[in-house]
Amino acid sequence: MRLFIFTVLLVVATAIEFKVKKDGKVCALLTLNGALDLEATQQETLISKSELKFEKATLIESSTCNLIKLNLTSSAEMWFQFDAAQKDWKVTPVSLFVPESVFGKDVNETDPVTLKASSLELFPQDGYYKCNSASEFSFVPETETVEFNYTVKAKVSDFQIQSADGDDFKTKGKVCAADKKPSEYMCKNGNKTIIMMEGNFTLAITYLNVTGANVTENIIVPAPEDADTEGVCDEKATTESLSIGFFKTWAIHFDFKKKDSNFFISNMSVTYTFDDNLPHHAANGSRTVELPISTEYLKASTKGYYICNSELDKSNEGVTLTSKNFKYRAFDEKSAGFDGDVSECSADESSSSVVPIAVGAALAGLVVIVLVAYLIGRKRSRKTGYESV
Ligand SMILES: *[C@@H]1O[C@H](CO)[C@@H](O)[C@H](O)[C@H]1NC(C)=O
Ligand SMILES: *[C@@H]1O[C@H](CO)[C@@H](O)[C@H](O)[C@H]1NC(C)=O
Ligand SMILES: *[C@@H]1O[C@H](CO)[C@@H](O)[C@H](O)[C@H]1NC(C)=O
Ligand SMILES: *[C@@H]1O[C@H](CO)[C@@H](O)[C@H](O)[C@H]1NC(C)=O
Ligand SMILES: *[C@@H]1O[C@H](CO)[C@@H](O)[C@H](O)[C@H]1NC(C)=O
Ligand SMILES: *[C@@H]1O[C@H](CO)[C@@H](O)[C@H](O)[C@H]1NC(C)=O
Ligand SMILES: *[C@@H]1O[C@H](CO)[C@@H](O)[C@H](O)[C@H]1NC(C)=O
Ligand SMILES: *[C@@H]1O[C@H](CO)[C@@H](O)[C@H](O)[C@H]1NC(C)=O
Ligand SMILES: *[C@@H]1O[C@H](CO)[C@@H](O)[C@H](O)[C@H]1NC(C)=O
């Protein structure tokens, strides 16, 4: 039974692949998952609807290298039309169907309807376009329909398309925005980014090596795109958390609290494992070390964010966490990001006050010089007996 469920899941999760051949050679490729959803309405009343899964689709023989045609049922098709736009492809999804065959007798239109969706982002002709994340193509009729209105949407995932010679997808191409790797450590709730953190973190870990000596290893915490960041950031909560995961089992964990109109870090810990990152380690297993922090550590207003470009560090039990160019914001229910009131660490404030102090000192110097020059000038004019008014 368990094996059966596993097999079914595997089938569902695998995208279907289509290959168009010309003279026996593959010249266009398409993989996708999902379904085409069709609805027929009359004066906003739903008359009938239908879902056509892509896993049942077949490639229509008249497809060309620049027009991939899928047969969804005997009377519904979805096409991908390639038009050259200088060195790029502009791909337009097209859908065609005969209403009566798709919806049944209640929708008695027998003339085929053609609909088009907005084109995909342009991508190089010698590359692919790829979007693993779920996306939607919304199709709009080419000509206005009379008796019925049709809403046609393709819900697509694991999508990849190409029109270029070769059995496989090329090694380069365009990736949709939703698939791009994050450039910040973050926690999202729906489409809102509630916690955002930036910074260059390093860990210094002192441990006993097999020769019985204490050694210190410096570890650079991977950038957001190479880390596995997870968080808890429910809407309206007063505690949130963020874990920057890396090296499979290592993590830096932050808890945040909100009090009045401020937020701050309430707990900070480091989890590490005696693995290849700590060469010749004597002990085995994982350890979690809580770092001692002051109450309301790195506090900022909920109207803004906290910043500390200078180095910050905290140590405990042979573990030191250091940050540089650190910035964070939590409880950001409006997804404002790094915008608004800035709370700065004192180290940054004293370095940023160097410029005003220098300017002030220069001005004071200038006043003294002018004063001295004036006094000397006055003395000289007295000597010559020349009296000014
Ligand atoms: C189709 O939709 C338009 C705009 O929403 C509406 O004005 C029109 O009455 C609808 N036609 C039918 C047949 O439902
Ligand atoms: C689509 O497939 C159906 C069978 O499922 C077949 O009857 C029909 O002829 C096909 N249409 C095209 C255009 O290949
Ligand atoms: C569709 O059916 C309606 C009644 O159910 C009828 O009035 C109409 O003329 C039919 N339209 C077509 C194109 O057959
Ligand atoms: C986020 O999703 C909501 C509905 O789910 C939508 O109204 C809103 O426009 C979306 N915001 C962004 C920035 O995409
Ligand atoms: C420091 O962090 C920034 C922002 O996350 C990143 O762009 C930069 O590459 C990092 N620098 C180093 C040396 O890791
Ligand atoms: C353990 O650390 C000591 C002191 O740094 C060093 O001399 C020794 O070679 C290390 N042993 C191993 C096996 O790395
Ligand atoms: C290694 O460091 C720990 C903690 O600082 C200390 O207790 C221990 O005595 C040290 N061992 C050696 C061999 O220096
Ligand atoms: C801080 O976090 C660590 C690890 O998540 C946990 O073990 C510890 O109890 C927490 N301390 C406080 C004061 O919440
Ligand atoms: C740690 O694990 C290694 C390999 O699994 C083993 O050889 C070694 O004896 C273990 N050391 C300790 C202190 O448990």
| Domain coordinates in residue numbering, the chain | 16-178, 181-344
Tell me how crowded residue 275 is: count the other CB atoms within 10 A of its CB: 15
Q: Please check the confidence at residue 129 and state whether its pLDDT lies above 60.
A: yes
Q: Is 371 exposed, middle or buried (0-12, 13-18, 19+ CB in 10 A)?
A: exposed
388 lines ligand 7 (CB under 6 A): no
User: Which protein residue has the closest C-alpha to ligand 2 atom 11?
Assistant: 74
Q: What integer is the mean pLDDT of 112-138?
A: 95
CA of residue 214 to ligand 7 center, whole Å: 6
Mean pLDDT of the chain: 90
CA of residue 289 to ligand 8 center, whole Å: 9
Q: Which residue has the higher pLDDT, 364 or 389?
A: 364
Q: What integer is the mean pLDDT of 110-129?
A: 95
In DSSP terms, which residues pair with 192 in a beta bridge?
189
Q: Please check the confidence at residue 331 and state whether its pLDDT lies above 70.
A: yes
Q: What integer is the mean pLDDT of 54-76?
A: 95
User: Which protein residue has the closest C-alpha to ligand 2 atom 7?
Assistant: 74
List all residues 6 or more positions away from 64 whose beta carbon is below 8 Å from its beta carbon: 20, 22, 28
Would you state the pLDDT for residue 29? 96
CATH fold for domain 181-344 = Porin (2.40.160)
Q: What integer is the mean pLDDT of 39-56?
A: 94
209 lines ligand 6 (CB under 6 A): yes
pLDDT in tens, 2-33: 444 444 444 445 789 999 999 999 999 999 99
Would you state the pLDDT for residue 4? 45
User: Which protein residue has the closest C-alpha to ligand 1 atom 8?
Assistant: 43
> Token pair for residue 134?
């779920």
16-178 has which CATH code?
2.40.160.110
**DSSP label of 56:** G
62 lines ligand 9 (CB under 6 A): no
Would you state the pLDDT for residue 358? 62
Q: What integer is the mean pLDDT of 136-142?
A: 95
**For the stretch 161-199, what's the b/e string if a residue is b when 16 or more beta carbons lie within 10 angstroms of its beta carbon?**
bbbbeeeebeeebbbbeeeeeeebbbbebeeebbbbbbb
User: Which protein residue has the closest C-alpha to ligand 4 atom 4?
Assistant: 191
pLDDT in tens, 89-107: 999 999 999 999 999 999 9
Would you state the pLDDT for residue 363? 67
Q: Which of 135, 145, 91 is nearest to 114 (CA)?
A: 145
The CA–CA distances, whole Å, from 331 to 30, 224, 238, 309, 363 equal 41, 20, 8, 22, 44
191 lines ligand 4 (CB under 6 A): yes
Q: What is the pTM for the complete model shown?
A: 0.58
Q: What integer is the mean pLDDT of 129-152?
A: 92
pLDDT over 70 percentage in the chain: 89
Answer yes or no: are the C-beta atoms of 94 and 140 closer than 8 Å.
no
What is the spatial distance between Cα 207 and Cα 270, in angstroms, rounded to a whole number? 14
> Token pair for residue 144?
């206005």
User: Which protein residue has the closest C-alpha to ligand 4 atom 11?
Assistant: 191
Q: Does this chain's domain 16-178 share its CATH topology with 181-344?
A: yes
Angle of CA points 334, 195, 229, to nearest 5°: 145
The CA–CA distances, whole Å, from 16 to 158, 187, 306, 336 equal 9, 32, 47, 39
**CA quadruple 261, 295, 335, 313: dihedral positive or negative?**
positive
Q: What integer is the mean pLDDT of 96-120?
A: 94
Q: Please check the confidence at residue 145 and state whether its pLDDT lies above 90.
A: no
Q: What integer is the mean pLDDT of 268-272?
A: 98
Highest mean pLDDT among 3-7, 8-12, 142-146, 215-219: 215-219
List all residues 6 or more positions away from 2 whose beta carbon is below 8 Å from its beta carbon: none
Would you state the pLDDT for residue 383? 59
pLDDT in tens, 290-323: 999 999 999 999 999 999 999 999 999 999 999 9
What is the spatial distance between Cα 304 and Cα 62, in angstroms, rounded to a whole number? 58
Q: What integer is the mean pLDDT of 337-358?
A: 80
Q: Is 280 helix (H, G, I), strand (E, B) or coil?
A: coil
Q: Please check the confidence at residue 367 and state whether its pLDDT lies above 80.
A: no
Residue 284 CA, closest ligand 9 atom number: 1
**CA quadruple 123, 127, 133, 135: dihedral positive or negative?**
positive
What is the spatial distance between Cα 211 and Cα 114, in angstroms, rounded to a whole number? 76
> Token pair for residue 33?
């998952």
pLDDT in tens, 233-261: 998 899 999 999 999 999 999 999 999 99
Would you state the pLDDT for residue 342? 95
CA of residue 121 to ligand 5 center, whole Å: 29
Which of the ligands is closest to the CA of residue 145? 1
Would you state the pLDDT for residue 389? 46
What is the spatial distance between Cα 255 and Cα 328, in angstroms, rounded to a whole number? 12
DSSP, residue by residue, 114-158? EEE-PPPPPEETTSEEEE-S-EEEEEEESS--SS-EEEEEEEEEE
Return the residue matching tokens 């950038």: 223
What is the spatial distance between Cα 182 and Cα 225, in angstroms, rounded to a whole number? 5
CA of residue 141 to ligand 2 center, whole Å: 22
User: Which protein residue has the closest C-alpha to ligand 2 atom 4?
Assistant: 74
Q: Which residue has the higher pLDDT, 313 or 384?
A: 313
